[in-house]
A and B are shown apart, each in its own frame.
Chain A
């Protein structure tokens, strides 16, 4: 079952490169302070993304996009939300109460990154840290990456027409600094470091939670055998991914591309055959 893990930086052509860096976001200790959102905006000079009240608990950010590179989700659940519903829905099994789920979402920096694969200009590139960044001076705003991302992370910005997303603070980690969001996180819900270390830490943490009776604790997007070959930024969740707005089993669309090309080639041959058949029966005419 073990699949040899992809080294994205080596695959991209970096002969010698630093260890792969990433985020482990432990949502079980997120307090929903949004310091990550603010720090990200400040450091990366990301423009305003709308000043609206959404009515979605304390989340007035909405979701990731061109001008939102960290997004804190707020989910209010009946405290017994993980138990089967009571026979009578009006009387909660646990006598009431609410449990809060808070989670800071970010670009996953996938090992198999569909956005990078489909980018026709080469604006999206893999860094020596194994992360995925957009080169703003190359991007021509074709929008292909927007439709390719299985997480709905990357967006096209109205004001400048280009695609934008989290860079995992490429300009900071190159200087040995911690990305702005992780630096600002007061509870270490967002942890930054070499991916190997983060995975070990995450395994220990999920084990600890399960041992203490939190059977619903699970890791998300850390598995190198999943549809994106594992993410550079992965999560510890306390419910199913879709509850947080995450796809439960994301697959990089480009995994099916060889098959797509095969069908395209066959269809082109069918079209050629059709044209030939249409004309053959016509035969040659005098003029």
Chain B
């Protein structure tokens, strides 16, 4: 097991540049636990929660500009997506009948606690906004619910980044600076995509612009995230995550181009919108799988920590490499 250690290099010997050997481990077993969260429930929720939150923000704006067709579609989409989200979240619990314990305390140290409270305000507001828009009843209450859902939706679409980053999972935690922007962009792209899919071209302007801004943010944040992660970026580029993230990127780029070029073609708008929705979902599944992979292999846990320790030791010895 231990014979792999090769750090006693001969001084002065010319050595080719070789890939770094894997760090030592206990029979290759993971150091941290693989997330207990299930798929498709949790990545599905990351997608649907983002779609719902950003759709509510889009609906509130569309309401202000008087674009009723888009507002109605976005509200209905938000209500449907958040309903599915809640079902997925409850189903993922080990003890679903105790889901209400989430509201037993409020803890700012737990993104899941903060998220539960946001959702418990957001979901009724999104539901009321949709009900009013679809039935045409209680327009004032509907407008208030639309505003509340729009505001809380911003939280719903972004807190999930802290939810995954506030773990020991290397592919998630080390990306905590970029993940919120990636999730916000992905959410906006999905919500815009849904709008493009649902409304007539003359009323799709807001949705197209929201989608374009979202998709551009998503692509930028993703490349910054991968650069930040160093070697751990592998977990997004290989294994189960690799093809998902790649497909997401292609579809985002295609949807983005389509959104810009579609003009008044309903078919092109619908196709681009569907591509963006699919891309957002694939991104969330890709992020989820990268986290799992990074937890499974001890090297993603050990190596950054070992490098941190070595850097600290170098600092203390004034630049000399100890030993």
Contacts of B205 in A (CB 8 A): 281-282
B161 near A140: Cβ-Cβ < 8 Å = no
Q: Does B167 sit within 8 A of A, measured CB to CB? A: yes
Contacts of A140 in B (CB 8 A): 93-96, 98-99, 101-102
Q: Which of A139, A152, A240 has the most CB of B within 10 A?
A: A152
Expressed in whole angstroms, the Cα–Cα distance for A59 and B30 within the complex equals: 15
Contacts of A149 in B (CB 8 A): 32-33, 168
Whether A263 touches B26, Cβ cut-off 8 Å, given contacts A118-B166, A281-B209, A282-B65, is no
B110 near A144: Cβ-Cβ < 8 Å = yes
How many A residues face the partner with a CB closer than 8 A? 85
Expressed in whole angstroms, the Cα–Cα distance for A283 and B66 within the complex equals: 9
Q: Does A247 sit within 8 A of B, measured CB to CB? A: yes
In the complex, per-residue mask of A73-96: 1 if CB is within 8 Å of any chain B CB, else 0: 101111001011100010000000
In the complex, per-residue mask of B134-171: 1 if CB is within 8 Å of any chain A CB, else 0: 00000000000000001000110111011001111100
Contacts of B154 in A (CB 8 A): 268-269, 271-272
In the complex, per-residue mask of B91-112: 1 if CB is within 8 Å of any chain A CB, else 0: 0111110110110110111111
Chain B nearest CB: distance from A52 CB in Å? 14
- Partner of A283 from B65, B107, B111, B213 at Cβ < 8 Å: B65
A142 near B112: Cβ-Cβ < 8 Å = yes
How many B residues face the partner with a CB closer than 8 A? 89
A274 near B36: Cβ-Cβ < 8 Å = no
A263 near B309: Cβ-Cβ < 8 Å = no
Q: Does B184 sit within 8 A of A, measured CB to CB? A: yes
- Partner of B2 from A156, A243, A271, A278 at Cβ < 8 Å: A243
Chain B nearest CB: distance from A99 CB in Å? 9
Expressed in whole angstroms, the Cα–Cα distance for A163 and B62 within the complex equals: 44
Expressed in whole angstroms, the Cα–Cα distance for A150 and B36 within the complex equals: 14
Chain B nearest CB: distance from A272 CB in Å? 5
Chain B nearest CB: distance from A63 CB in Å? 6
Q: Does A242 sit within 8 A of B, measured CB to CB? A: yes
Q: Does A190 sit within 8 A of B, measured CB to CB? A: no
B32 near A120: Cβ-Cβ < 8 Å = no
In the complex, per-residue mask of A159-178: 1 if CB is within 8 Å of any chain B CB, else 0: 01111000000000000000
Q: Which B residues are within 8 Å of any A CB, using their own CB? A: 1-3, 5-6, 8, 23-27, 29-33, 35-37, 54, 57-58, 60-62, 64-68, 92-96, 98-99, 101-102, 104-105, 107-113, 116, 150, 154-155, 157-159, 161-162, 165-169, 173, 176-177, 179-181, 183-184, 187-188, 192, 205-207, 209-210, 213-214, 217, 295, 298, 301-302, 305-306, 308-309
